[in-house]
């Protein structure tokens, strides 16, 4: 697999990683067959890129299938619906009463993605963490063979729970981590070295998955941090996560208060990634935004999904099932942008009074149905 060229001018702060309790993911995405919908192997196309060959032109997006799948997510239907009219009829029936009602929030009204988009044609199952820390997620807690075995098992669980949606495994790796100390530049964040990112890429390759590179910016900004890793972000199997919890716009130390991103921050990231997609002839990128409070993301109506970038808002809170579902409904589902995600914590979600983690079958009953699932 092709690695990006190393930039000798890049200075990495080798971390003493601060286990702040919420970790960010680095999701694997590598060469697996994306979707029969396209009639060609998406990952075969990526293989040709890595060999220096021209990128094949992907067939036109199947907008009818896209619309159908978006309605299935919105309705969380458990019965196969074969036609657009079937779904539209259900959506109309679910909102029609004797008194006028507001238009349904989902599916979100937004642009069609470019051909080669992963969502909503696939569900992503991601393992999250940082290899330096056992406290930031599953990636750093277990040896590689255990991580891969557990990830494959979760993929199989989701394939069984929803056979209509192919599953892509991912490695969601936190490459910029919030810190308890200011560091030499006073930014309260540490940048991971290339060698650690390469481990994430190699792990994803072993499960034919994709990678998410996650940013906890501290007192820095997404505008400063993302370009540092542009060589990696140009890879077709690498996507992005950003964590508002550790975006400290008021100058506070990370972990003392919950941070925030604005619509303008999100739009900047989307436009930056869209530029990489256009300039490098890439399939659409996915941008995951973590969220468990209202104030972590402000001005959602001003956020603009683009054909080159698919946006997922991931419910990032932990706790017993009813608490998590309430947070999802009131914080994520109530403010539609494009897609939703749901995070599961192997330890924190099982603390009393919880009776255990939510199952795939229970999560699939949420409306809208999450298309990105992350395990920490």
What are 117-160's pLDDT values in tens digits? 999 999 999 999 999 999 899 999 999 999 999 999 999 999 99
Which residues make beta-bridge pairs with 130?
133
Cα 54 to Cα 167: distance, rounded to the nearest angstrom: 27
DSSP states of 148-217: HHHHHHHHHHHHHH-TTS-EEEEEEEEEEEE-SS-TTTT-SEEEPPHHHHHHHHHHHHHTT-EEEEEE--
Q: Which of 12-16, 67-71, 78-82, 98-102 has the lowest mean pLDDT?
A: 12-16
Using the predicted structure, report yes or no on whether residue 107 has a pLDDT greater than 80: yes
Mean pLDDT in residue range 230-245: 97
DSSP element (H, E) containing 71: helix 63-75
Asked if 237 contacts 31 with a C-beta cutoff of 8 angstroms, the reply is yes
Residue range 77-98: mean pLDDT, rounded: 50
pLDDT in tens, 314-370: 998 888 888 999 999 999 999 999 999 999 999 888 888 888 899 999 999 999 999
Q: What residue ranges define each of the domains in the chain, with the CATH number in brackets?
A: 36-61+116-375 (3.20.20)
Cα angle for residues 62, 68, 70 (degrees, 5° grid): 100
Q: What mean pLDDT is reported for the chain?
A: 84
Tokens of 337: 């942008």
Q: Which residues contact 135 (CB under 8 A, 6 or more apart)?
A: 19, 21, 23, 141
Confidence at residue 1, expressed as pLDDT on a 0 to 100 scale: 47
Q: Whole-prediction pTM value?
A: 0.82
- The answer on pLDDT for 294 being more than 90 is yes
| CA pair distance 194, 289, nearest whole angstrom | 23
* pLDDT band of 56, cuts 50, 70, 90: low
* pLDDT at residue 55 tops 80: no
* Mean pLDDT confidence for 271-284: 97
Answer whether residue 169 shows pLDDT above 80.
Answer: yes
| pLDDT at residue 44 in the model | 41
């Amino acid at each position: 697999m092709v690695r990006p060229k190393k930039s000798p001018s890049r200075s990495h702060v080798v971390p003493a990683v601060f286990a702040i309790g919420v970790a960010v993911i680095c999701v694997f995405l590598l060469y697996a067959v994306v979707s029969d919908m396209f009639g060609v192997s998406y990952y075969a196309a990526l293989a040709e890129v890595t060999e220096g060959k021209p990128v094949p032109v992907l067939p036109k997006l199947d907008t009818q299938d896209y619309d159908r799948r978006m309605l299935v997510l919105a309705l969380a239907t458990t019965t196969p619906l074969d036609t657009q009219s079937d779904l539209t009829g259900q959506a109309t029936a679910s909102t029609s009463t004797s008194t006028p009602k507001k238009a349904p929030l989902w599916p979100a009204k937004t642009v069609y993605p470019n051909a080669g988009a992963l969502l909503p044609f696939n569900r992503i199952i991601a393992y999250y963490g940082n290899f330096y820390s056992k406290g930031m997620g599953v990636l750093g807690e277990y040896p590689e063979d255990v991580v891969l075995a557990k990830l494959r098992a979760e993929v199989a669980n989701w394939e069984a729970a929803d056979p209509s949606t192919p599953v892509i495994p991912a490695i969601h790796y936190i490459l910029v981590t919030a810190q308890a100390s200011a560091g030499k530049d006073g930014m309260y964040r540490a940048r991971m070295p290339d060698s650690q990112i390469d481990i994430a890429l190699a792990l994803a390759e072993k499960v034919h998955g994709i990678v998410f590179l996650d940013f906890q910016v501290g007192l820095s900004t997404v505008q400063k941090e993302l370009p540092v890793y542009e060589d990696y972000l140009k890879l077709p199997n690498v996507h992005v996560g950003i964590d508002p919890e550790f975006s400290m716009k008021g100058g506070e130390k990370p972990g003392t208060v919950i941070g925030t991103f604005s619509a303008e921050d999100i739009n900047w990231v989307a436009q930056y990634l869209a530029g990489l997609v256009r300039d490098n002839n890439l399939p659409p990128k996915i941008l995951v935004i973590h969220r468990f409070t209202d104030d972590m993301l402000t001005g959602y109506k001003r956020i603009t999904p683009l054909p080159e970038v698919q946006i997922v808002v991931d419910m990032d809170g932990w706790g017993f099932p009813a608490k998590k579902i309430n947070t999802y409904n009131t914080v994520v589902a109530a403010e539609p942008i494009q897609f939703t995600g749901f995070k599961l914590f192997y330890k924190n979600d099982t603390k009393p009074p919880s009776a255990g983690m939510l199952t795939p079958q229970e999560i699939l009953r949420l409306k809208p149905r999450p298309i990105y699932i992350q395990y920490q």
